[in-house]
């Protein structure tokens, strides 16, 4: 059965055809089963892929996760997304970069970085998470359009380019 979900996952990722109302449900089911994630919502034209495959690369998606339309998630360096997390439209998450010691970038060494996104995180529209980030803490908020270049602490609100702490969240509703 896992092979069927993998085939559905491969066929449905990023294709606008699967944004039609009933086919959107097929895509969301395929993603949910393939990633073993409960109550996963996946918007249209979402791409979840290891850009540079590595046998140790993995992704784990928690429960009640929402991934907005036109989002790109690269898990070449591995990725964990916590429970009750919202990734808004157009977000880009990268977990790899290239060493810059070779003029031909295609021949340069790939550097992978594991990223852990905590529970109750909200990543605003069009934010970019760069591979230098290892952790986005529980309850953190990333402002829309922000470029995150370093770790974000629990309950921090960050915004800007590069993203900087602008506030701290209150801890309610846990």
CA 139 to chain centre: 16
Is residue 95 within 8 Å of 135, Cβ to Cβ?
Answer: no
Residues 32-60 have a mean pLDDT of 79
101-112-120 Cα angle (round to 5): 140
Per residue in 109-148, pLDDT (tens digit) is 888 999 999 999 999 999 999 999 999 999 999 999 999 9
Q: Are both 123 and 76 inside the same structural domain?
A: yes
- Model pLDDT, residue 121: 98
Q: What is the CATH number of the domain that holds 80?
A: 2.160.10.10
Domain annotation covers residue 126:
yes
Q: Are both 108 and 141 inside the same structural domain?
A: yes
Per residue in 69-88, pLDDT (tens digit) is 899 999 989 999 999 999 99
pTM to 2 decimal places: 0.83
pLDDT of residue 26 exceeding 60: yes
Q: How many domains does the chain have?
A: 2
Domain annotation covers residue 173:
no
Per residue in 83-105, pLDDT (tens digit) is 999 999 999 999 998 888 878 87
pLDDT bucket at 33, cuts 50 / 70 / 90: confident
Q: Are both 17 and 102 inside the same structural domain?
A: no
Residue-number span of the structural domain to which 78 is assigned: 40-168
Residues 52-75 have a mean pLDDT of 88
Q: Are both 55 and 73 inside the same structural domain?
A: yes
SS3 (DSSP) at 12: helix
Q: Are both 62 and 137 inside the same structural domain?
A: yes
The set of catalytic residues is 98
pLDDT bucket at 12, cuts 50 / 70 / 90: low
Domain annotation covers residue 25:
yes
More confident residue, 106 or 4: 106
**What residue has token string 């309610």?**
172
Q: Are both 87 and 137 inside the same structural domain?
A: yes
Q: Are both 20 and 50 inside the same structural domain?
A: no
């Amino acid at each position: 059965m896992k092979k069927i979900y993998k085939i559905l996952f491969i066929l449905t990722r990023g294709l606008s055809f699967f944004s039609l109302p009933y086919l959107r449900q097929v895509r969301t089911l395929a993603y949910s089963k393939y990633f073993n994630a409960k109550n996963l919502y996946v918007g249209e034209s979402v791409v979840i892929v290891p850009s540079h495959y590595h046998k140790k690369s993995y992704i784990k998606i928690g429960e009640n996760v929402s991934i907005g339309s036109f989002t790109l998630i690269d898990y070449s360096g591995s990725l964990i997304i916590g429970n009750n997390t919202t990734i808004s439209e157009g977000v880009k998450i990268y977990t790899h970069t290239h060493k810059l010691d070779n003029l031909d970038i295609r021949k340069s060494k790939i550097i992978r970085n594991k990223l852990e996104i905590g529970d109750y995180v909200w990543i605003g529209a069009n934010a970019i998470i760069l591979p230098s980030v290892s952790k986005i803490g529980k309850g953190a908020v990333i402002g829309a359009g922000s470029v995150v270049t370093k770790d974000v602490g629990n309950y921090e609100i960050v915004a800007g380019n590069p993203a900087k702490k602008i506030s701290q969240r209150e801890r309610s509703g846990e």
